[in-house]
């Protein structure tokens, strides 16, 4: 049973990595540009989710907070693409690499200034909950990750 539990946890982690890789591929195929700030944009989305959902900030319901964070990050990404990234299309690929690395530094700096540098966690309705199937215990958060990814 331990192997099955490890398998479920590994599949959930693999789903997260797969989504990240899919994001890189989609961005590259759509724009022919490598975006090294993608992880930093995801971090920004996570901090927006924390801001909208956690009790010490806005304390919105989970689905509303996540949806609001996704919409705001989508708008931010659209504006970033239109106002900053598209301005250097036609330049050497190296210019886009340097720009997205610099944007990553800028986003990390801004997140540190706004939210601080202490670890933070997102309060989800799934944390600590498990599904028991005989001896197999599946964390609900892992099941939600797998189902959402599929």
CA–CA separation, 63 vs 19, rounded Å? 20
Q: pTM for this one?
A: 0.82
Q: What is the pLDDT of residues 27-48, one digit of tens each?
A: 889 877 888 999 999 999 999 9
Beta bridge partners of 133: 136
- Average predicted confidence (pLDDT) for the chain: 90
Place 123 in a pLDDT band, splitting at 50, 70 and 90.
confident
Question: In the prediction, which pLDDT does 5 show?
Answer: 86
Question: In the prediction, which pLDDT does 48 show?
Answer: 95
CA distances from 103 to 5, 115, 127 (A): 39, 18, 32
When computed from its CA atoms, the radius of gyration of the chain, rounded to whole angstroms, is 18
**Dihedral over alpha carbons 103, 109, 111, 116 (to 10 degrees):** 170
């Amino acid at each position: 049973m331990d192997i099955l539990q490890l398998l479920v946890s590994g599949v959930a982690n693999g789903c997260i990595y797969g989504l990240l890789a899919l994001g890189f591929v989609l961005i590259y195929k759509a724009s022919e540009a490598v975006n090294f700030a993608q992880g930093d944009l995801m971090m920004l989305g996570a901090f927006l989710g924390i801001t909208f959902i956690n009790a010490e900030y806005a304390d919105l319901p989970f689905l509303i907070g996540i949806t609001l964070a996704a919409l705001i990050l989508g708008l931010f990404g659209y504006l970033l693409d239109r106002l900053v990234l598209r301005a250097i299309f036609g330049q050497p690929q190296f210019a886009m690499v340097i720009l997205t690395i610099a944007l990553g530094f800028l986003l990390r700096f801004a997140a540190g200034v706004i939210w601080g540098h202490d670890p933070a966690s997102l309060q989800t309705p799934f944390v600590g909950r498990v599904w028991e199937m005989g001896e197999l215990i599946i964390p609900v958060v892992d099941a939600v990750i797998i189902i959402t990814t599929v």
